[in-house]
Homo-oligomer: A and B are copies of this chain.
Amino acid sequence: MPKKEINPEYLTCPIRQVIARFGDKWSMLVLYTLAENSTGVMRFSELHAHMNDCSQKMLSKTLKSLLDSHLVDRKVYPEVPPRVEYGLTDTGKSLIPAIDTLIAWAKEHFDAVVRP
């Protein structure tokens, strides 16, 4: 059964798409962590080390979602032990300035926002 009369325009609403795709707890952090890494690519465990407040289950899930959104790509090396590297796609890279803007804002207004 249909839940309600929702404005169909919402389906193509850009901000809703943004939130739906990386408005979760970890996506932005993954993108940002990859972006600030000098080599451009990181292994799973390396990524995890940089954000150890994220469980590997969630990291794995987040990466999969970012892969689906074509923001991150994944390269598997046929070695033993296996090696997998994650990096930003061009689309992913294009998002970084927007994230930087957000972070810059956060740094500047941290006190104003967090104060009791």
Minimal beta-carbon separation of A53 from chain B (angstroms)? 5
Interface residues on A, range: 35 or more
List the number of copies, as a whole number: 2
Ordered by A's residue number, 30 sampled pairs between the chains whose C-beta atoms are within 8 Å are A4-B52, A4-B53, A5-B52, A6-B53, A7-B53, A12-B110, A15-B28, A15-B32, A15-B99, A15-B103, A16-B29, A17-B113, A17-B114, A18-B28, A18-B102, A18-B105, A18-B106, A19-B25, A23-B24, A69-B113, A70-B112, A70-B113, A70-B115, A91-B109, A91-B112, A98-B102, A98-B104, A101-B101, A101-B102, A102-B102
* 9 nearest A-B pairs in the assembled complex, by CB-CB distance: A14-B106, A98-B101, A18-B106, A98-B105, A6-B53, A91-B112, A98-B102, A101-B101, A14-B107
